[in-house]
């Protein structure tokens, strides 16, 4: 089989007719075609027009949401309907979820009736839940079927399924009673009953479970797909591993952006106004916290006037506290996101963070105390700097643990606001500890 490089794919897409594209369509993955289309502007529509609807649908499924919207607008509504008819239910739902209601109604009125009903149901679920990311195309069989009957059934229905890694055994009411892997099916004799080879202990996810929790379950068990059930145990759909990869990437990007005080919708090549709207609100919040920290320093202005060297060590104390707090914060936010921090280990993790913060504070405190003694040539100054560093770094670690945990209990995303609170707290406390101690021992420092 010939392997096409990117330039060859581009050349074929630009120059060949549909007939000439047949070999390319057989051997090139849709995402590779999408990579080429992303480099083209004026020719994008003409290329997509040459491709069969099923391939355009596959390419659409590889696109980001913004790309889908942009590409969809290249086609007439009739062409759009044809493309949507080739897409899986979960992908159609994601695409329609960003359109105006009247346009959604028109789409649903022009696609296959059964698909439309499935999409309507999917649209009722929150987009960040198991129901919002599941596909309704799965293979359901009965436990009284034989292996031969099942294989024959797969030949007619398997092409429509989202995945054929697993076959799901349902009773007459649609209740999930068992699961069967394709491997176990093909190695069994034709006359074997499904009930004798299926697994009755089935791992499933509730339809309203948050997508992050679903991703954690996938990570824990390493499944390729998992069934989604309602409160009665009726199987509604299936979540596949490729959906989870997208979720993990999306959640990681969201947390990284939020920790940096950015809107996750901001793109690298986006407009200036989008960047301003994304960043300015958090910069204003940071300005307020900086004013609070500055006001704390102002309380000790007379002390600083008498001992200017304090201004040199002030940012060191605050900065190291901020670093310690951020380390703890990052670990805890990640632990919460991955489900690694729970009620069972919360106290143990908290104690670990307290001890780690104390030991790190002592180690850094000793170093900065020696530096302060050498700098000011006063042992008391080194003692003040060292104690302030120990106090601030120890407290910063505790705050780095507590802030995201408290925010989570208040149903606020820990990644969204934790960094601001932790930084403010460590700055204010660092200044207060250091300048407060310096004021207490001022007569020994002069």
Q: Tens digits of per-residue pLDDT, 402-427? A: 988 888 888 777 766 677 788 888 88
Residues 6+ apart with CB under 8 A from 118: 89, 136
pLDDT tens-place string over residues 42-57: 677 777 777 888 888 8
CA dist., res. 371 & res. 219, Å (int): 47
DSSP codes of every residue in 13-68: HHH--TGGGHHHHHHS-HHHHHHHHTT-STTHHHHHHHS-HHHHHHHHHHS-HHHH
- Name the strand (E) or helix (H) holding 119: helix 113-123
Burial of 142 (0-12, 13-18, 19+ CB in 10 A): middle
Specify the pLDDT at position 1.
45
Domains and CATH numbers, the chain: 6-133 (1.25.60.10), 140-238 (3.10.580.10), 272-445 (1.10.357.20)
Beta-carbon-side half-sphere exposure of residue 72 (alpha carbons within 13 Å): 23
Distances in whole angstroms, Cα of residue 220 to Cα of each of 226, 338, 357: 12, 10, 30
Whose CA is closest to 391, among 370, 351, 364?
Answer: 364
E strand spans, 242-372:
none
Instruction: Write out the DSSP string of 157-221.
Output: HGGGSS--SEEEEE-TT-BEEEEEEHHHHHHS-TT-BHHHHSBS----EETTSBHHHHHHHHHHH
- Interval 264-309: pLDDT, tens: 655 565 667 776 776 677 778 778 877 888 888 888 888 877 888 8
pTM of the shown model: 0.61
| pLDDT above 50 (res 345) | yes
Q: Is the pLDDT of residue 387 over 60?
A: yes
- Rounded Cα distance between 139 and 145, Å, is 13
Structural tokens at position 415: 């990644």
Q: Which residues pair with 179 in a beta bridge?
A: 168, 199
Mean pLDDT, residues 184-207: 90
- What pLDDT score was predicted for residue 52? 81
- Answer whether residue 99 shows pLDDT above 90: no
- Residue 261 — pLDDT band, cuts 50, 70, 90? low
């Amino acid at each position: 089989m010939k392997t096409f490089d990117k330039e060859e794919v581009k050349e074929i897409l630009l120059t060949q007719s549909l007939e000439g594209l047949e070999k390319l369509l057989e051997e090139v993955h849709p995402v590779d075609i999408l990579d080429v289309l992303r480099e083209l502007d004026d020719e994008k529509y003409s290329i997509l027009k040459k491709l069969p609807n099923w391939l355009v649908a596959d390419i659409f499924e590889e696109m980001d949401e913004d790309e889908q919207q942009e590409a969809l607008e290249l086609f007439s509504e009739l062409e759009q309907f044809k493309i949507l008819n080739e897409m899986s239910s979960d992908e159609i739902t994601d695409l329609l979820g960003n359109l105006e209601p009247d346009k959604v109604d028109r789409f649903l009125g022009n696609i296959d009736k059964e698909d439309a009903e499935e999409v309507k149901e999917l649209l009722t679920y929150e987009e960040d839940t198991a129901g919002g990311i599941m596909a309704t195309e799965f293979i359901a069989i009965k436990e009284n079927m034989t292996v031969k009957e099942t294989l024959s059934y797969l030949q007619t229905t398997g092409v429509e399924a989202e995945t054929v890694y697993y076959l799901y055994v349902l009773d007459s009411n649609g209740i999930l009673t068992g699961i069967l892997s394709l491997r176990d099916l093909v190695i069994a004799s034709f006359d074997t009953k499904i009930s004798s080879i299926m697994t009755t202990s089935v791992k499933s996810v509730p339809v309203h479970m948050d997508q992050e929790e679903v991703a954690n379950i996938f990570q824990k068990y390493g499944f390729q797909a998992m069934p989604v059930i309602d409160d009665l145990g009726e199987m509604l759909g299936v979540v596949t591993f490729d959906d989870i990869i997208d979720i993990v990437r999306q959640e990681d990007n969201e947390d990284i952006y939020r920790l940096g005080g950015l809107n996750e919708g901001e793109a690298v090549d986006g407009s200036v106004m989008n960047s301003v709207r994304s960043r300015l609100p958090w910069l204003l919040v940071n300005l307020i916290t900086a004013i609070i920290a500055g006001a704390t320093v102002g309380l000790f202005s007379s002390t600083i006037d008498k001992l200017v060297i304090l201004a040199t060590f002030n940012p060191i104390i605050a900065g190291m506290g901020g670093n310690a707090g951020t380390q703890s914060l990052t670990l805890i936010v990640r632990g919460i996101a991955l489900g690694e921090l729970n009620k069972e280990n919360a106290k143990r993790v908290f104690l670990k963070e307290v001890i780690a913060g104390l030991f790190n504070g002592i180690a850094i405190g000793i170093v900065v105390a020696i530096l302060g003694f050498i700098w000011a040539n006063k042992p008391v100054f080194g003692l003040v700097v060292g104690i302030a560093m120990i106090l601030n770094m120890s407290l910063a670690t505790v705050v780095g643990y507590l802030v995201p945990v408290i925010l989570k209990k208040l149903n606020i995303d820990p990644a969204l606001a934790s960094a601001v609170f932790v930084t403010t707290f460590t700055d204010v406390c660092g200044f207060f500890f250091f300048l407060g101690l310096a004021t207490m021992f001022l007569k020994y420092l002069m």
